[in-house]
């Protein structure tokens, strides 16, 4: 009844679709049984033969169209075309039933039903074209058309000889003859397309495609029986032939959903397939092996199909001749065109083969030139490990002629230490399933030839003792393995150098902090029960900064190199020396003397102190740096490992001991004691309290008057900070800074941090209160004390001072910065630049501690100073010591000769003021005149304007 396609029987259904298949078989068997029994009545037979087939076709149409709508993909247009094709068949059967069942009259000779039946073929052909694997070239499309005609022509020859010639010569009307020929001709076209595309169909969705083709095969067989002269006259609706069309429609309705059942079954069987995959790959008896064997057979049948078609045409002509009939013109013309198409196809295939051969030769030459010209070495090894091919690059990479390597055992060319690892990696790669990694990367040492070893002096400069570091990419090959190798010796050497640089100091080549910490950890974790404890020595070079400032940084680096060399030469082979950074070094001592036990603490300390003293003496010997002789000393802290110690704790303890050595006078050795850690904890707690006090506004400012010695007139104020705790206790700087009564800037990082915060607060508060006094008409210069370390800090720039003066409106001349701790460690160059900048602003500069040593004299030589302030230690014994009076007289004379003002602090006794006035000192401050005052009392003193001279009243004036 409908045109058809396909000639491939579907594969057996999968177990996952058993229930749908059972329902399908039941429907088809029920319809076939009813058709065989005549449905019980002629009326019911007509209904089932017409509307039953229409319902089945519409069911197929709905199933295919719905699947195409919900499942996007490549095959979506194919299922849509199959749905349209089934819809045409359903409409045709419906029209047929309208005439036979509703109108109760026979179908006209040419009706609308025939039109819809004929429209079944085009959508089905389009659907098959979508399912087929399309040709990739113009020649492929031409051959596809020729193959279609060859198959169609052969089928036309057979059909014309057997039946169509008789149908065309019956003398019927033209419409009837056209309809009689249209059905078989469309069948021939569709069958030709199916056979031509059968061997080109894609492998994706095979079960669904085979089911659809099987449905169309059943339909086309029923069409062929319907158009045959034997059955056409006796056909009535509802007969057994309708069961075939019904089964084709039901099968096509089920076809799109076969893939889902297949996926579900595959998911359930995934575990079993995974277990059997290795066995299938090993013995070649699995389904994959059977498919690989079946594909060549299908390819051979596809190649023979055109020749079989030509043979069919020949058989058609021979049949006519042997039957005694003349050859029909249609058969003759068809046969000639088939032969002509075969010749054209053969010529196209010949030309295409010549083109492919030429292209293959070009590609072969191209790949040969790539292999031979590649800088990488390509080697093919047989399964036995014997090299079968080595590319010419081996001469440049390995220094060996490739012909010498061919036939060699690959294992004999790999370093013995790397051979086991390489064999393990190769075996694991070969035992992996085929779907695993396609290649692996192996790095090993490969024997270098004579040519490569002599490239740099013939001493094995490449690699280690004639071995090259080689990186190889290994791929499978049908006759072994392919090695794509390259020389990475330089990269390995560079990596080793980078690793060395990452763990060693670049200047001294000693281990750095990270490597030293690692070695300390190994020493702590690897001690035996009978070993003495390990010890860590922290070493700091005293006076190294002065070398940098005076001789230069290059000389300082040279000194560090020499110090590192001395350190390395002075320790045992099992000990470790390291540079931690700057001028800090460390030494790890492991083990102990023969017979020394861990419990012998006194012996351990004595032996370690002897080693530390020897290192201190050796490091303190003169150095020649920058062409001059320089000297530095060494402060050493020692810490011993105890049970449960960690590297961080041991190094921290040694660091604390080293700082204690520096505080105790430098150039000495200190052993760690637990109270050092307690002191650090206390200082941290104090630092936290100090920071909290700054945040909570617990600091206040007091001022001590600076008096003119000759007249008792109040000349200036000296600002000093006080900390009033939450308990109401007032702390002086000497108490909360753990140092002299100034903003110390000494000690560790915690001290420096809180010193910087406090110094900034002191400067801002001093400027703000002085400006308020000026606005109140009580203007008087104010002095603020700053250590040199704070003045050179980034947070205390001249721009900050200028901004404070401008913001509060204080004249620059009303502010005096008193420099304390002005030794060389403060960075004299930077300090000089900062003070010059302040002088340009109008700020006066005073030098504190004058007369306390060489540092003050050196500072006076370089720094721009307005006031010299005698050191408190010089003032204390001034009344009793003639020597101190002579020194003070000299210092005051120096100030006068330089045109500088002179002042003295710590003048607590009237006798001291009397002596200073007699020596010519101009100003003084201390308890002999007045104690430090709060702001209210400061204003009372400013209102008074002067203090009684000590000879008039020996006691200090108390302001009330």
- The closest alpha carbon to 659, from 687, 679, 645, 640, belongs to 679
210-221 mean pLDDT: 79
pLDDT, average across residues 497-502: 88
What are the phi and psi torsion angles at 585 (to 5°)?
Answer: -125, 170
Question: Would you say 606 and 617 are in contact if contact means Cβ atoms under 8 Å apart?
Answer: no
Say if residue 956's pLDDT is above 60.
no
CB neighbourhood size of 412 (10 A): 10
- Could you tell me which residues come within 8 angstroms of residue 882 by beta carbon, excluding any fewer than 6 positions away? none
Highest mean pLDDT among 62-66, 445-449, 634-638 belongs to: 634-638
Phi, psi of 234 (to 5 degrees): -90, 0
Q: For residue 279, is pLDDT > 70?
A: no
pTM above 0.75? no
pLDDT of residue 283: 40
Which helix (H) or strand (E) segment is 12 a member of?
none
Q: 624-628, 651-655, 689-693: which has the minimum mean pLDDT?
A: 689-693
Helices first, then strands: H and E counts in the chain? 37, 21
pLDDT at site 564: 93
Q: What is the largest CA-CA distance in the chain?
A: 169
Segment 100-111 shows an average pLDDT of: 78
As a whole number of angstroms, the distance between CA 37 and CA 31 comes to 10
Is 615 within 8 Å of 570 (Cβ atoms)?
A: yes
| Per-residue pLDDT tens over the stretch 301-343 | 455 556 666 666 666 666 666 665 565 666 667 667 767 777 7
Q: Using DSSP bridges, classify how beta strands 699-708 and 714-724 pair: parallel, antiparallel or unpaired.
A: antiparallel
Tokens of 502: 């990452």
- Residue 171's pLDDT band (boundaries 50, 70, 90)? very low
> What is the model's pLDDT at position 627?
85
In whole angstroms, what is the distance from residue 79 CA to residue 638 CA? 87
Q: Does the pLDDT of residue 455 top 70, yes or no?
A: no
Higher pLDDT: 747 or 523? It is 523
Burial of 103 (0-12, 13-18, 19+ CB in 10 A): exposed
Strands (E) across 367-491 are located at 377-381, 387-390, 439-447, 467-477, 480-487
- Residue with structure tokens 């192996």? 442
Tokens of 537: 């020595």
Question: Among 276-285, 334-343, 781-790, which is the least confidently predicted range?
Answer: 276-285
**777 CB-near residues (< 8 Å, 6+ apart):** none
Structure tokens at 679: 């002191």
Higher pLDDT, 958 or 521: 521
Instruction: Give the residue-averaged pLDDT of 806-823.
Output: 86
pLDDT value at residue 818 = 92
pLDDT for 853 equals 55
Q: Inform me whether the pLDDT recorded for 275 exceeds 50.
A: no
Mean pLDDT of 576-589: 93
Output the CA torsion sign for 440, 443, 447, 451. Answer: positive
> What is the pLDDT, as a whole number, of residue 733?
72
918 vs 332 pLDDT, higher one: 918
Candidate ranges 5-14, 463-472, 520-529; pick with highest mean pLDDT: 463-472
**Strand, coil or helix: what is 387?**
strand
Question: Which DSSP category does 541 fall into?
Answer: E
Q: Write down the pLDDT at residue 101.
A: 83
Torsion of CA 46, 49, 52, 58, to 10 degrees: -130
Give the per-residue pLDDT at 8: 33
Please report the pLDDT score of residue 229 as a whole number: 59
Backbone φ, ψ for residue 799 (5° rounding): -65, -35
How far CA 491 is from CA of 390, 438, 471, 496, 606, in Å, comes to 24, 26, 10, 9, 49
Other beta carbons less than 10 A from residue 668's beta carbon: 18
520 — pLDDT class (breaks 50, 70, 90): very high
Q: Within 13 Å and on the Cβ side, how many CA atoms surround 946?
A: 9
Q: Could you tell me which residues are beta bridge partners of residue 589?
A: 535
Q: Name the least confident of 443-447, 754-758, 947-951.
A: 947-951
Rounded CA separation 804/171 (Å): 124
Closest CA relative to residue 928, chosen from 945, 946, 950, 944: 950
CA distance 253 to 246: 11
Determine the Cα angle at 121 with ends 118 and 127, to 5°. 155
Q: How far is CA 146 from CA 153, 278, 306, 339, in A?
A: 10, 44, 8, 11
With 90 as the cut, is the pLDDT of residue 124 above it?
Answer: no
Q: What does the pLDDT read at residue 11?
A: 41
- Average pLDDT (828-852) is 86
* DSSP structure class, residue 482: E
Q: What residue has token string 């067989």? A: 221
Whole-Å CA distances, 168 to 165, 296, 587: 5, 42, 114
Q: Which residue do the tokens 């070398």 mark?
A: 547
pLDDT of amino acid 827 = 66
**C-alpha triplet 208, 211, 217: angle, nearest 5°:** 145
Query: Is the C-alpha dihedral spanning 913, 915, 917, 923 positive or negative?
Result: negative
User: What band does 767 get if pLDDT is binned at 50, 70 and 90?
Assistant: very high
Percent of the residues in the chain that have a pLDDT greater than 90, as a whole number: 18
- 79 versus 691: the higher-pLDDT residue is 79
Higher pLDDT pick, 361 / 368: 361
Q: What is the mean pLDDT of residues 261-289?
A: 42
Q: Which H, E and C letters describe 146-214, residue by residue?
A: HHHHHHHHHHHHHHHHHHHHHHHCCCCCHHHHHHHHHHHHHHHHHHHHHHHHHCCECCCCHHHHHHHHH
With 0-12 / 13-18 / 19 or more C-beta atoms within 10 angstroms meaning exposed / middle / buried, residue 32 is: middle
Interacting residues of 344 by C-beta distance below 8 A, sequence separation 6+ = 146
Cβ distance 7 to 222 under 8 Å?
Answer: no
Residue 561 tokens read as: 């190199």
Secondary structure of residue 670 in the 3-state scheme = strand
591: confidence class by pLDDT, cuts 50, 70, 90: confident
- pLDDT at 713 > cutoff 60: yes
Quote the CA–CA distance of 445 and 650 in Å, as a whole number: 41
Average pLDDT, the chain: 77
Residues in the chain: 960
Other beta carbons within 10 angstroms of residue 725's beta carbon come to: 12
Number of Cβ within a 10 Å radius of residue 98:
17
What is the per-residue pLDDT for 17? 56
In this prediction, what percent of the chain has a pLDDT beyond 70? 72
State which of 127-136, 397-406, 561-570 shows the largest mean pLDDT: 561-570
Q: Are 164 and 227 in contact (CB under 8 A)?
A: no
Alpha carbon distance 803, 800 (integer Å): 5
């Amino acid at each position: 009844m409908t045109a058809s396609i396909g000639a491939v029987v579907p594969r057996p259904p999968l177990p996952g679709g058993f229930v749908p298949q059972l329902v399908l078989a039941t429907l088809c068997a029920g319809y076939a049984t009813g058709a065989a029994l005549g449905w019980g009545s002629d009326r019911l037979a007509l209904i089932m033969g017409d509307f039953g087939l229409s319902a089945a076709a519409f069911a197929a149409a709905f199933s295919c169209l719905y699947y195409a709508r919900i499942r996007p993909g490549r095959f979506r247009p194919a299922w849509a075309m199959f749905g349209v094709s089934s819809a045409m068949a359903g409409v045709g059967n419906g029209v047929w039933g309208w005439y036979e069942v509703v109108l109760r009259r026979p179908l006209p000779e040419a009706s609308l039903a025939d039109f819809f039946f004929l429209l079944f073929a085009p959508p089905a052909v389009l659907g098959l074209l979508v399912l087929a694997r399309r040709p990739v070239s113009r020649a492929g499309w031409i051959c596809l058309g020729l193959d279609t005609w060859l198959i169609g022509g052969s089928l036309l020859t057979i059909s014309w000889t057997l039946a169509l010639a008789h149908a065309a010569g019956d003398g019927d009307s033209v419409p009837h003859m056209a309809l009689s020929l249209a059905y078989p001709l469309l069948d021939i076209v569709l069958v030709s397309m199916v056979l031509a595309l059968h061997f080109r169909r894609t492998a994706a969705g095979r079960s669904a495609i085979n089911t659809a083709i099987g449905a169309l095969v059943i339909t086309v067989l029923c069409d062929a029986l319907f158009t045959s002269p034997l059955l056409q006259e006796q056909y009535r609706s509802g007969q057994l032939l309708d069961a075939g069309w019904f089964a084709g429609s039901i099968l096509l309705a089920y076809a799109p959903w076969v893939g889902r059942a297949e996926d579900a079954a595959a998911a359930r069987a995934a575990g079993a397939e995974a277990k059997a995959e290795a066995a299938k790959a090993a013995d070649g008896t699995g389904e994959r092996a059977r498919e690989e064997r079946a594909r060549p057979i299908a390819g051979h049948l596809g190649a023979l199909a055109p020749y079989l078609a030509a043979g069919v045409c020949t058989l058609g002509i021979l049949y006519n001749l042997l039957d005694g009939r003349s050859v029909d013109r249609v058969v003759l013309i068809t046969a000639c065109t088939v032969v002509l198409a075969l010749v054209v196809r053969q010529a196209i295939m010949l030309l295409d083969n010549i083109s492919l051969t030429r292209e293959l030769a070009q590609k072969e030459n191209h790949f040969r030139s790539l292999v031979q010209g590649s800088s990488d070495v390509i080697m093919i090894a047989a399964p036995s490990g014997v090299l079968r091919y080595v590319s010419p690059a081996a001469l440049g990479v390995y220094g060996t002629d490739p012909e010498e390597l061919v036939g060699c055992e690959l294992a004999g060319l790999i370093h013995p230490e790397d051979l086991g690892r390489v064999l393990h990696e190769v075996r694991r790669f070969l035992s992996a399933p085929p779907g695993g990694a396609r290649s692996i990367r192996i790095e090993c040492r490969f024997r270098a030839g004579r040519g490569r070893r002599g490239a740099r002096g013939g001493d094995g400069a490449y690699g280690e003792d004639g071995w090259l570091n080689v990186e190889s990419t290994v791929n499978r090959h049908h006759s072994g393995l392919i090695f794509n190798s390259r020389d990475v010796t330089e990269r390995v050497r560079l990596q080793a150098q980078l690793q060395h640089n990452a763990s060693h100091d670049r200047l001294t080549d000693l281990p750095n902090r990270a490597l030293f910490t690692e070695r300390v950890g190994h020493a702590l974790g690897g001690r035996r029960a009978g070993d003495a404890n390990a010890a860590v020595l922290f070493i700091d070079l005293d006076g190294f900064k002065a070398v940098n400032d005076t001789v230069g940084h290059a000389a300082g680096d040279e000194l560090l190199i020499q110090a590192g060399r001395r350190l390395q030469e002075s320790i045992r082979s099992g000990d470790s020396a390291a540079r931690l950074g700057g001028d800090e070094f460390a030494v790890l001592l492991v083990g102990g003397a023969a017979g020394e036990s861990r419990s012998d603490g006194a012996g351990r300390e004595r032996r370690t102190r002897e080693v530390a003293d020897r290192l201190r003496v050796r490091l303190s010997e003169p150095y020649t740096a920058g062409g001059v002789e320089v000297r530095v000393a060494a402060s050493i802290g020692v810490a011993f490992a105890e049970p449960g110690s960690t590297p961080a704790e041991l190094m921290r303890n040694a660091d604390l001991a080293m700082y204690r050595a520096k505080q105790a006078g430098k150039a000495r050795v200190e052993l760690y004691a637990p109270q050092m850690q307690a002191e650090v904890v206390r200082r941290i707690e104090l630092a936290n309290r100090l920071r909290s006090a700054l945040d909570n506004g617990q600091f206040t400012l007091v001022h001590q008057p600076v008096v003119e010695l000759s007249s008792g007139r109040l000349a200036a104020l000296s600002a000093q900070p006080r900390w009033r705790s939450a308990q109401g206790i007032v702390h002086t700087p000497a108490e909360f800074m753990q140092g002299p009564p100034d903003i110390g800037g000494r000690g560790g990082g915690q001290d420096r941090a809180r010193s910087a915060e406090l110094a900034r607060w002191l400067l801002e508060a001093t400027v703000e209160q002085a400006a308020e006094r000026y606005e109140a008409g009580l203007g008087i210069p104010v002095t603020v004390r700053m250590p040199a370390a704070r003045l050179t800090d980034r947070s205390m720039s001249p721009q900050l001072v200028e901004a404070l003066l401008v913001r509060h409106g204080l004249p620059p001349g009303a502010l005096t910065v008193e420099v304390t701790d002005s030794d060389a460690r403060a960075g004299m160059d930077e300090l000089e630049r900062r003070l010059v900048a302040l002088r340009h602003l109008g700020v006066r500069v005073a030098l504190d501690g004058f007369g306390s040593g060489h540092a003050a004299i050196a500072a006076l030589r370089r720094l721009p100073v307005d006031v010299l302030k005698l050191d408190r230690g010089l003032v204390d014994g001034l009344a009793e010591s003639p020597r101190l009076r002579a020194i003070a007289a000299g210092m005051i004379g120096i100030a006068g000769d330089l045109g500088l003002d002179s002042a003295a602090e710590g003048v607590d006794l009237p006798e001291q003021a009397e002596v200073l006035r007699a020596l010519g000192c101009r100003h003084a401050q201390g308890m002999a005149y007045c104690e430090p005052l709060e702001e209210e009392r400061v204003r009372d003193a400013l209102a008074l304007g002067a203090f009684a001279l000590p000879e008039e009243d020996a006691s200090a004036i108390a302001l009330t």
